[in-house]
Structure 1
Amino acid sequence: MLNIKKIIIYDEPTVPEIKINEVKEFISKTFHVNVEIRPNFFENTNGEIFQKIATTRIFELKKPFEKHNPTVQEIQMEESNTDNSQNEERVLYDGFEFQKIIEKFISPNESNQEILHIIFTNKLTCTFDKSDYRYHARALIGSNPTIISTTGIIEAPAKPKQYYLDLMTNLKKENEIKEKYKGEFLEYNDSRISEVVKGYLLQTIMYYETGEVFCDDKKCRLYNAHWQKDLIYSQLKNRKLCNKHQQKLQNIVNH
């Protein structure tokens, strides 16, 4: 039986490519659960949240998180919800610290295990990996609330190796190189993002229900893709769960 009684999805207006009503229908039909769409999470919060989010900015990629003391300008940028994803000076945020702050601003009436909150954001969330002692971009910060970074979907899985080699030798021809590899990776304002988002929603809901993270099978939508080619295959070309996870899904929704 599904433990979740309701899912609340908070839209991200800076990414109109996400067909939010289509996403809602997909989740409703897949899990037979009540899904509610709400505006961007930050629209109905007070100014305090922007100051707190600014404290989660990352400035040292090779050091564990240190709380940042934000400037007035940085706080104002958070308030404007500026999409800096395509700027050269991209802002990075510690995903777990970001998540903790979001959790504090969820109404106590809706802060329980039966309501899953999923927040879309254009902010690039990252987590610190002690295996190589550096931050890595993440598309998904699981648990409740779940954070799905639309920028992370594009930036976290790596593009083809040859693409990076071409850029290193012909940086001035970046647009030509992008055109050469067009279709092989997701880009900003990419219409395919909406379909990929469904896969990330499957991942977070299945994780929340079962406690099991991802899948090792590239043919499964629960596969944690580290390369864009694998993301495109699992979420756009195959669009299915593996037999194991399809059976788990059936067990969850039918009992």
Structure 2
Amino acid sequence: MVEHVICYRAPTTVVDVEAIANWLSERLSVPVTVRDRFLDVHRNDDTDLAERFAEARVPSPYERETGNTMLGTIRYEERALEHPERSGGVLYDGVQVQRALNAALPADERGLETAHVAFLDRAIGTWGDHDGRWHKRVNVLGQPALISVPGLYEAPAKPEEYYKEQQRHALLSGDTPPREVLENQVEGEFLIEDDPRSTDALRGYALQASHYLAHGKAFCDEEGCCLFNAHYHEELLEAQLRDPLFCADHEQLYG
């Protein structure tokens, strides 16, 4: 049984973790507290987090093997830990990152009675055996639960017109158009980087983390419920930002 939820800030992002923690505390019967960035709070000389992140790097979207532990890469990861605002553009195996962060937790906080929810400024993914490629994710549930703020914008599929415009621009100019160009030219609802709706959109993902440890089930099957695992931006917006936030069953638990 979950007795305490600890949320960790992502200071390089627009996400207000205190607001998310307050929302959780209104729906859970356990204390919800906020700590600074997970990679600062639980980093010490014994964790080797820079090397573990280097090992979790995804070099190719179509290759299962991960990791680049050359000295230059480890130095990059060390700088990213010290200066997170300078990092970006790298995809990490979310399961490997989760294992590394679990090992960094104090032994007396590693049990399932404490739900750690780490908001990250890193892009994380999981390997899809069904199609032989990596998929970006908003979250990876477990201990600790990882919530990727970049994943909120990048993981769910955008409207089809977005990708058509992306291809059209590439054919005309030979490169990928800047994200802001596509966002201005394509109609349809989707979240963009640093979207002011980010905090509200991630509340349900934080609740999924606690729900998973407490009940053993990751997601809800009802599309309109904020515990639903959305694969498209339209689904995400419907589940996270529109009332009612819960299906009938989860309304009884958290409404």
Counterpart residue type for residue 60 of structure 2: E
Match of 2:4 in 1: 6
Match of 1:253 in 2: none
Contact 2:208/2:227 (8 A) holds in 1: yes
SS in 2 for 1:27: helix
Match of 1:189 in 2: 194
**Take 2:140 and 2:65, find their aligned partners in 1: how far apart are those partners?**
16
Contact 2:115/2:209 (8 A) holds in 1: no
TM-score by length of 1: 0.88
Contact 1:27/1:35 (8 A) holds in 2: yes
In the alignment, which of 242, 248, 255 is matched to residue 243 of structure 1?
Answer: 248
Report the alpha carbon displacement of residue 12 of structure 1 after superposing the two structures with TM. Answer: 0.9
Contact 1:28/1:34 (8 A) holds in 2: yes
**Take 1:149 and 1:127, find their aligned partners in 2: how far apart are those partners?**
12
Alpha-carbon displacement from aligned partner over 1:210-242 (angstroms, at most 9, x marks no partner): 112212222111111111111111111235110
Alpha-carbon displacement from aligned partner over 1:166-197 (angstroms, at most 9, x marks no partner): 12112456544311337721111111100011
**Take 2:169 and 2:60, find their aligned partners in 1: how far apart are those partners?**
28
Match of 2:60 in 1: 60
Number of equivalences = 243
Counterpart residue type for residue 34 of structure 1: P
Task: Choose 179-188 or 221-230, whichever is displaced more.
Answer: 179-188
SS in 1 for 2:75: helix
Contact 1:65/1:94 (8 A) holds in 2: no
SS in 1 for 2:33: strand
Contact 1:140/1:200 (8 A) holds in 2: yes
SS in 1 for 2:27: helix
After the TM superposition, which residues 66-77 of structure 1 pair with which residues of structure 2 at under 5 Å, given as runs? Answer: 66=66, 68-77=67-76
In the alignment, which of 3, 16, 20 is matched to residue 17 of structure 2?
Answer: 20
Gaps of 5+ in 2: none
Match of 1:163 in 2: 162
Match of 2:219 in 1: 214
Match of 1:42 in 2: 39
Counterpart residue type for residue 189 of structure 1: D
Q: Does 1:205 align with 2:202?
A: no
Counterpart residue type for residue 52 of structure 2: K
Evaluate the alpha carbon distance shift between residue 219 and residue 100 of structure 1 in structure 2; reply closer, same or farther with a 3 A threshold: same
Contact 1:27/1:33 (8 A) holds in 2: no
Q: Percent identity?
A: 29
**Take 2:5 and 2:124, find their aligned partners in 1: how far apart are those partners?**
22
Alpha-carbon displacement from aligned partner over 1:3-57 (angstroms, at most 9, x marks no partner): 1111111111111x21222111111111021112111111141252111111110
Report the alpha carbon displacement of residue 84 of structure 1 after superposing the two structures with TM. Answer: 6.7
